[in-house]
Chain A
């Protein structure tokens, strides 16, 4: 079974803080993704990576950055958290985008 884990299920941060969200997958997948999910807006792609040290912007990259130093780990960084970044953050991995992705349990981030 594919296992994708995320560092925290719930996180509360203050405006202006730097926030790190970690994601680890154990299936040697090439591709990893960060999404955020908001009611009525569905899943929106923030960043993705198709190889170590490679990254591509998704649809809403503003205010975020990512790091992929090792194949199994993909980190999402909120440089200066703002209240509009309060959301559910979902990490996913896949061997190929043609076959869909496997999601981690999600991190519900609240920025106050």
Chain B
């Protein structure tokens, strides 16, 4: 069974700190990796995506991939209370297929 696993949290960090969110995936052939943010009662919003060829930084967010360990991370620098949400990791199935497999999400709480 192809899976994406995340620690459900909650992960609690103080305002201004770095929040580090992680997920592992089981399909070695996965080519693209996504991070979605979901506020309570809202739908997921795509915030970052990376391909198997490298990491990406966008503002306060950095997505990193460790292919050898099949591990994806999202770093949020200078965390703000507005970053408090559930973060979903998703992985596109290998071979460029249409299926994207989601993790169950990690709840992040940023304390003011």
Which residues of A pack against B, CB within 8 Å?
A: 31, 33, 35, 40-45, 48, 50, 56, 58-59, 90, 97-106
Contact = CB atoms under 8 A, between A and B. Distances in A.
Nearest to A45: B99
B44 interface: yes
A110 to B, nearest CB: 15
A73 to B, nearest CB: 18
Interface of B: 31-32, 34, 36, 42-46, 49, 51, 88, 90, 92, 96-100, 102-105
Contact of A97 (B45, B51, B98, B102): B98
B43 A104 contact: yes
A97 B103 contact: no
B26 to A, nearest CB: 14
B88 A43 contact: yes
A97 B46 contact: no
B90 A100 contact: yes
A4 B20 CA distance: 30
Given A40-B104, A43-B88, A43-B102, A98 B96 contact: yes
Contacts, number: 57
A56 B98 contact: yes
Given A98-B92, A100-B90, A103-B44, A42 B102 contact: yes
A99 B47 CA distance: 11
Contacts of A40: 104
A71 to B, nearest CB: 16
Nearest to A42: B104
Contact of B98 (A35, A48, A103): A48
Given A41-B104, A42-B105, A100 B45 contact: no
A64 B108 CA distance: 33
B43 A90 contact: yes
Contact of A31 (B96, B98, B104): B98
